Amino acid sequence: MPEHTAASGFGEALSAIASAVEAEEGPMTERKRRIVEAAVTAFAEHGYEATSTAEIARRADVAEATIFRHFGSKKDLLLRLVRPLADHVLVPAAIEELAVIRQGGAGFREIATAVLTSRIAFADRYAPLLRIIAQELPLRPELQAIFFSSGLRHAVEHLRGVFAELVAAGEIRGDIQPERMFRWFASLIVGYGAMRAMVPPGTFDDASEIDAIVDFMLRGVQP
């Protein structure tokens, strides 16, 4: 039995990532699925550079040549794990989520709270692959290109419309560019997620922390 299925504890994330790859490339054979799951697990545990294709093959219980038959190289394997997550999960989910929230006439506080809550849940679910991305994104232009692709630009354009509605409703300032608001908001999400990942589970009360973060966004630090 392949080692990664018993040792990783990443079951839900592995299944979701494999489904995203299938959405991009079509149905996978059992061997290809094992390679995908073994690669995610090994990259997350040891980092991309420290993981060899021989190690992935051992975990997946396949010959190393099988990896190269399905994926041209280790770098190709990494990119074909990350791109489906961005294209079929991360960006579409964020856009759909905002649309659903706005249908109910939610204000900025409700929108920010809902988005923060769902992004933290997303980070928990996809922790193995997000750990790889966090390690490799600053070093690899190919990954940066994926995350700053047309999909992300489409998400920002969607946010622009949401911000325009909130400005018209008098809920947020009209002199802040949507791209800048996006950067600030993303920084708060990533920063809290990073701090949360460095302490024992349960140290932070997510609900109260999210409420405080949203309050900070609305009021700043002035008395």
Average model confidence (pLDDT) across the chain: 82
Domain boundaries, the chain: 3-70, 78-219
Confidence tier at 171 by pLDDT (50, 70, 90): confident
The reply to whether the predicted model has a pTM over 0.85 is no
Domains 3-70 and 78-219 share a fold: no
Secondary structure (H, E, C), the chain: CCHHHHHCCCHHHHHHHHHHHHHHHCCCCHHHHHHHHHHHHHHHHHCCCCCCHHHHHHHHCCCHHHHHHHCCCHHHHHHHHHHHHHHHHHHHHHHHHHHHHHHCCCCHHHHHHHHHHHHHHHHHHCHHHHHHHHHHHHHCHHHHHHHCCHHHHHHHHHHHHHHHHHHHCCCCCCCCCHHHHHHHHHHHHHHHHHHHHCCCCCCCCHHHHHHHHHHHHHHCCCC
Confidence tier at 1 by pLDDT (50, 70, 90): very low
Q: What is the pLDDT of residue 77?
A: 93
Answer yes or no: is pLDDT of 53 > 60: yes
The residue that leads in pLDDT, 163 or 10, is 163
Answer yes or no: is pLDDT of 29 > 90: yes
Residue written as tokens 């009360």? 205
Q: What is the pLDDT of residue 141?
A: 84
Q: What is the pLDDT of residue 7?
A: 40
Answer yes or no: is pLDDT of 166 > 70: yes
The residue that leads in pLDDT, 172 or 34, is 34
Superfamily of domain 3-70 in CATH is: Homeodomain-like (1.10.10.60)
Confidence tier at 183 by pLDDT (50, 70, 90): confident
| 78-219 topology per CATH | Tetracycline Repressor; domain 2 (1.10.357)
The residue that leads in pLDDT, 8 or 56, is 56
Answer yes or no: is pLDDT of 135 > 90: no
Q: What is the pLDDT of residue 38?
A: 94
